[in-house]
Amino acid sequence: MSSSLNASKLDDLVGLQSIKRAARKLATPGNTTHAVLLYGGEGSGKSTVARLLSQAWLCLSPVEGEACGDCKACRSFAKQQNADFVRVSPMGKSNLILLRQIVPVESPEPAPHIPVTVLLRTPPITSRHKVVLIENADRMNSDSANALLKSLEEPFEYTRFVLTSSSLSRILPTIRSRCMSISCPYPMAQDLPDTIDKKVAEMAEGSLGEIERIIENPEIYSSLWQFAESLMSRKAYEALAAADEFKRICENWAEAYDIAARKAQSEASAHLARYIMKLRPDRPAWVHAVAETHRRIQQNAHPLATFDAMFAEMLAEQ
């Protein structure tokens, strides 16, 4: 199965059936909707939908509301060289979308891309529309939001906007009112492939990003879940064995996702805490022990000694 996060077609996405239908309708030639706001939690798939819709709006020959993938506009988009497209995202230490990203202004630090209003001054060069993708639109400061509003209020016929946000309430009501707002909910259990252990998927709390990682390596998550279940019946004298087993799980995690050992230890610890919260909500001390281990790992504590201490503390209560 293709990864939804790297999807090249809407059908590659897990769930989101109504959003897929809406995206196809929007990209159909003749549709006059000029601005869409996709909102939902982290990992809900909204960024992927935004990218696919942007490409479909650029595409010269969309097929059933999706980009053909073969025209000049699609090929240049795939190479991140489409002159009719600009992707705007938060920048700098402030992690904000700044005024100079929307309109040209005198600044010692130029914007990382052509300002939006400059892009929109002329009709498309090689594409069907000119498209502006604004990621994390809730990170616009007041100046950039007001500047964007002017373009949204009086758009050119060839202009299309795609905005994404995880915090709809932080976007100006005047901007929201000029966009078609589409909610991107987390996938339901029935939308998931049968190969995914539903208990493990539940731990992803619906996050499409997390579900995609499970799809890539279901055995990694299953082994961690089984390990968490086994802790419920282990005795205090098994603490060192549990630490060794968890260390092996972390090593497999690092190999599976090609990440550094410490990052894998941190991620696995965070997931173990969530699993324990599900399995033993009556043991907050266990959750605290794992959370403390997660914090210490991030602060470069020695992993094996930290795991030994964690499981010794947890299993002492058995």
Quote the CA–CA distance of 265 and 271 in Å, as a whole number: 10
Say how many residues make up the chain. 318
Copy the structure tokens of residue 284.
């907050």
CB 211 within 8 A of CB 203: no
Strand order in the sheet with 159-165: 85-88, 130-134, 159-165, 35-39, 180-183
Instruction: Note the pLDDT of residue 214.
Output: 76
CA 88 to chain centre: 16
pTM of the model: 0.64
Residue 89: CB atoms within 10 Å: 16
Instruction: Note the pLDDT of residue 5.
Output: 43
Instruction: Note the pLDDT of residue 200.
Output: 58
Instruction: Note the pLDDT of residue 206.
Output: 56
Instruction: Note the pLDDT of residue 192.
Output: 60
pLDDT tens-place values along the chain, 318 residues long:
334 444 567 766 666 778 888 888 998 988 999 999 999 877 778 888 999 999 999 999 999 889 999 999 999 999 999 999 999 999 888 889 999 999 998 877 777 889 999 999 999 999 999 999 999 999 999 999 999 998 999 899 999 999 999 888 889 999 999 999 998 876 665 556 566 666 656 666 656 667 777 777 888 888 998 999 999 999 989 999 999 999 999 999 999 888 999 889 988 988 888 888 888 888 888 888 888 888 888 787 787 788 888 888 888 866
Q: Quick one: angle between helices 284-298 and 303-315, nearest 10?
A: 170
Backbone torsion region of residue 242, taken as left when φ is above 0, otherwise alpha when ψ lies between -120 and 50, otherwise beta: alpha
CB 94 within 8 A of CB 84: no
Instruction: Note the pLDDT of residue 12.
Output: 67
CB 103 within 8 A of CB 117: yes
Amino acid making up residue 300: N
Quote the CA–CA distance of 128 and 65 in Å, as a whole number: 13
